[in-house]
Amino acid sequence: MANTAAIDGINGLRDIRRSPASHLAAVLEAGSIQGSVVLNEIPFQTMAGVRVDPRSEAGFRIAAVVGGLPARSGEVGGADGVSVLWLGPSEFLVVAPEEAHDSLGGNLISSLTGALGSAPGQVVDLSANRTTFELSGPRARAALEKGCALDLHPRSFPPGTALNTEVGNIPVVLQKTGAENFRLYPRASFADFLGRWLLDALREFASPEVP
């Protein structure tokens, strides 16, 4: 009975949750251009902010939990669906699917906390702090270039790269997950503005190219 009650509680939690850009779901779908550029929110990902010296014993333990820590700016570590984004020499953002969260039957946050132990550092559950936008398709890069100062050419920003930057003057962590796929991690309070900015950036691609 206890397990059944726990499952019912988890399902109830899922029913009442609202992601930071949930109110934009219909317009994100309508504003996407299939075959050109698609914009959607990936809600409720498990995220943890980790501060630890990667060369310390605690750093090695945390690396074992997530599948590896990135060694320098731009690198992405992790394995098995977990991404670890480099924010600083001893600061990382761990991103995993929502089911990895302890409240949904996973153990990522508690495992990271246990790996850190009493060592200097910090593990903070940031799952409600940010959301995730995904921009994909052959025009995704062109849309981002309208408001991002980074050089997004594949030779400078290949798949497997993530950097702190601004898009539309909004601070984000920008990750390239594939040849034509980008993920943007803004703080939840900026989700509405950034979602609408990205929609506006897509508008021109809905019109046929002029020969």
Q: Which fold has domain 46-128?
A: Alpha-Beta Plaits (3.30.70)
What are the pLDDT digits (tens) for 89-136? 999 999 999 999 998 899 999 999 999 999 999 999 999 999 999 999
Structure-token match 């089911």, residue found? 99
Report how far residue 55's alpha carbon sits from residue 203's, in angstroms, rounded to the nearest whole number. 47
Report how far residue 52's alpha carbon sits from residue 208's, in angstroms, rounded to the nearest whole number. 50
Q: Which fold has domain 1-43+131-211?
A: Gyrase A; domain 2 (3.30.1360)
Amino acid, single-letter form, for residue 44: F
Is the CB of residue 135 less than 8 Å from the CB of residue 144? yes
* Domain residue ranges of the chain, discontinuous segments joined by +: 1-43+131-211, 46-128
What are the pLDDT digits (tens) for 53-91? 999 999 999 999 999 999 999 999 999 999 999 999 999
Q: Which two tokens stand for residue 108?
A: 């990522």
pLDDT at 139: 96
Looking at per-residue pLDDT, the higher value among 152 and 210 belongs to 152
